Amino acid sequence: MMKAFTWAALLVTGVVAMAQTATFDTTTKVFRLNGGNVSYVFGVNERGELQQMYWGGRLGAEDTFPQAKPMMGWASFDSPYTTTPQEYAGWGAGLFVEPALKVTFPDGNRDLVLHYASHTVTASGVDVVMKDIERPLFVTLHYAMDPASGILARSATIENRGTTAVTVEQAAAAAWALPAGHYTLNYLTGRWAGEWTLTQETLHPGARVIESRRGTTGHQANPWFAIQAGGPSEDSGEVWFGALAWSGSWRITVEQDQLDAVRVTGGFNPFDFGYVLHPGEKLETPVFYGGYSAHGMGGASRLLHHFEIAHILPHRIGTGEDAAPKPRPVIYNSWEATEFNVTEAGQIALAERAAALGVDRFVMDDGWFGQRKDDHAGLGDWYVNPQKFPHGLKPLIDKVHALGMDFGLWVEPEMVNPNSDLYRKHPDWVLNFPGRPRTEQRNQLVLNLARPDVKEYVLDFLDKLLTENDIAFLKWDYNRNWSEPGWDQLPPAEQKKVYVAFTENLYSILAELHKRHPKVELESCSGGGGRVDLGILRYADEVWPSDNTDPFDRLSQQYGFTYAYTPQIMMAWVTDSPHWLNKRSTSLTYRMLSSMEGSLGIGADITKWNNEEMATAKRLIAAYHQVQRTIVQGAQYRLISPLNGSEFSATQTVNQDQSQSVVFLYIHSTQEGRLFPLLKLKGLDPKADYALTSIEGKAMPDTPAVASGAWWMNHGLQMDGDFRGDFQAAAFRLDRK
């Protein structure tokens, strides 16, 4: 047993403290990472394999593990190689569960068995080198644990130190393991205009595959999972969760094996994958983040939200807190008001109205460039359309600045319309298989960003745009997925490299732009929420969750979104009613309060708003500004779910020092006169007094103006009896006295 935590004692007992978060016991060959309330333990087992041993609540400092023992095999059908939860198993030696790595050597050998070789201490964890039992194929597993949240970043570097090329056919970032048990799996699915559907199911033996084969993240599934012990619960119970930081084709396989143990393996999608590693070359996998909470799904998402703000989202200019992600400016966006019909005069008219509302940032959407009249032409030709803007963008930008707002612009850099000068000049620049049709979607093709010349073109035009114009923000769109993913510049055997090189070049363009224009903020949009993941979020300050701006649909989408992502990045516009998608009519107040649950924007044709609408929006934008940081960066509690036809829903956020809280309450459709349920709040300081102030709506008349946190949490907030009807909303703030 390890007693005193001194260097001398550590050395005597054979335990070497490697860094703040990691220890390695040289006797038992056990690695242990600690952070937040989490411990993650793995070791070199008696066979030389790297074996996962524990992932869960933080263990005592003096607790020790004996050397890892491989699991027993199961009769003559499942060997220990398959039953043992390996950290990163090569496909070989009769492995029947999902491999982390599968390769083919030029001599036809496809057997790969990785054993521990060495390890190195890093500042935040450990790098463990593994090697095939016979060939010079090396894999370095990287582990870095966040000391505050216990969220563990894992990835792998695959290196060919041999003299012949090796083809990597499958490469995961990491494999996570849970012991045999009864679990519920949560993941997010959807489609265009219907993203962020929370899907929950009991885990059964077999594999559940969540993936994108589209070349990009996709609307249909998001690279995030959460597994809860037992049934689903928002507030209690153990949850293990993970999010993959990759914006290309990806796959997460959640597998309950033949002995009921669970493994989650995720990384590059092995479908159509084939990465040739020449001698001396390396392949870096994306990072797969994993975390643990003992406080249900709510606890898991609160950890993830804070981690994203602190460690994933771009930190802009300045240092420390100064550079930390700020609450988003309240934006106006022109898309739903004008679509492609943008003109200098029309945009100025919108900007004047937006400024009168108290908007901070004016964003001109699609339509300003090339010969762009509709979605048939112009993509690729990034010059300002001279008919619409005869004097360039400057007069509009100057006007927006004079109105006290900053200026943002829409771009879709990775795309081209066949009807464009760029395509006429460079038809070979798109993803294609020579001689085969080039399938268009929205009349556009995907530029092959993996090509160095395409990468240079995209970086140059964006750099020029940002250098020549005073632009604070780019909405970076991506409106189709791949087809015919050929890259005919490379030999046939190497062309599948496009799945890695495209996304790496995207990241490198974004990194270079960040370097050259550090103040310019970015939104990731892909026809709504088609490119939201922890990879793009290292460069994007916010995302567009969905083209569906119906305020009622948005409540469910926003609910699902927050399982994986912070409201800080969740842009939500107020648009016109009746809504174009559902033909639903809702009040402006309801629309405002639906959007105020996230990062507020306005996307309606505000030139048509009457005085009363202008006044309502202005009042609520001002109220939002006062409490925005609490809403988007506070600890979020999903109090009542809007899913499954729920009559009511509610969310609450509490700021970091528990001095302020904001509550949103929504009625879908009152039935049988039922009143809004007594709402027990969460996360307040029970001993502090809080004053309740209405942002919109009334509490029961005898509700105390000031009461303790204990009162609000135990007794709860009762709404006034008039709070009934269809599509109703209310909001309150609580401030510590």
List residues near ligand GLA by CB under 6 A: 335, 365-366, 410, 477, 479, 525, 527-528, 544, 547
- At 702, list the tokens: 């005898």
CB contact set of 679 (below 8 Å; sequence gap of 6+) = 639, 640, 650, 663, 665, 716, 717, 718, 719
Q: Residue 589: phi, psi to the nearest 5? A: -60, -45
Q: In angstroms, what CA-CA distances link 590 with 202, 620, 699?
A: 35, 11, 17
Helix (H) or strand (E) holding 406: strand 406-411
Tell me the C-alpha distance between 735 and 737, whole Å.
Answer: 6
DSSP per residue over 554-601, as a string? Answer: HHHHHHHHHHHS-GGGBEEEE--SS-TTT-----HHHHHHHHHTSEEE
By three-state DSSP, how is residue 621 classified? helix
Give min distance, CB of 447 to ligand GLA, in A: 17
Q: Residue 565: phi, psi to the nearest 5? A: -130, 150
Give min distance, CB of 434 to ligand GLA, in A: 30
Catalytic position from the list 477, 533, 541, 550: 477
CB 399 within 8 A of CB 443: no
Give min distance, CB of 461 to ligand GLA, in A: 18
- At 413, list the tokens: 């850099």
Tell me the C-alpha distance between 88 and 447, whole Å.
Answer: 34
Give min distance, CB of 600 to ligand GLA, in A: 16
Instruction: State yes or no: is 547 an active-site residue.
Output: yes
Give min distance, CB of 385 to ligand GLA, in A: 14
By three-state DSSP, how is residue 412 classified? coil
Nearer to ligand GLA, 441 or 694 (CB): 441
Q: Which amino acid is present at 349?
A: A
Nearer to ligand GLA, 85 or 527 (CB): 527
Nearer to ligand GLA, 549 or 562 (CB): 549
H-state helical runs in 119-228: none
Return the residue nearest ligand GLA (CB atom). Answer: 366
Give min distance, CB of 335 to ligand GLA, in A: 4
- C-alpha of 363 from chain center: 23
Nearer to ligand GLA, 177 or 540 (CB): 540
Give min distance, CB of 375 to ligand GLA, in A: 6
Nearer to ligand GLA, 99 or 527 (CB): 527
Catalytic position from the list 360, 547, 550, 553: 547
- At 707, list the tokens: 């009461």
- Burial label for 570, CB within 10 Å (0-12, 13-18, 19+), is buried
CB contact set of 112 (below 8 Å; sequence gap of 6+) = 90, 91, 92, 101, 102, 103, 132, 137
Under the phi-then-psi rule, with left for phi > 0, alpha for psi from -120 to 50, and beta for the rest, what region is 697? left
Give min distance, CB of 479 to ligand GLA, in A: 5
Tell me the C-alpha distance between 245 and 677, whole Å.
Answer: 39
Helix (H) or strand (E) holding 318: none
Among residues 228, 55, 238, 247, the alpha carbon closest in space to that of 152 is found at 55
By three-state DSSP, how is residue 14 classified? coil
By three-state DSSP, how is residue 700 classified? coil
Nearer to ligand GLA, 409 or 639 (CB): 409
Give min distance, CB of 371 to ligand GLA, in A: 15
| Site of tokens 């004016």 | 362
Nearer to ligand GLA, 366 or 406 (CB): 366
Give min distance, CB of 547 to ligand GLA, in A: 5
Nearer to ligand GLA, 170 or 420 (CB): 420
| Site of tokens 């699915």 | 189
Instruction: State yes or no: is 146 an active-site residue.
Output: no
DSSP per residue over 28-78, as a string? Answer: TTEEEEEETTEEEEEEE-TTS-EEEEEEEEPPPTT---PPP-PPP-BTTTB
Give min distance, CB of 410 to ligand GLA, in A: 6
Give min distance, CB of 603 to ligand GLA, in A: 8
E strands within 230-353? 239-245, 250-256, 262-268, 275-277, 282-284, 287-293, 331-333
Helix (H) or strand (E) holding 297: helix 296-307
Tell me the C-alpha distance between 700 and 730, whole Å.
Answer: 13
- Catalytic positions, written as ranges: 477, 547
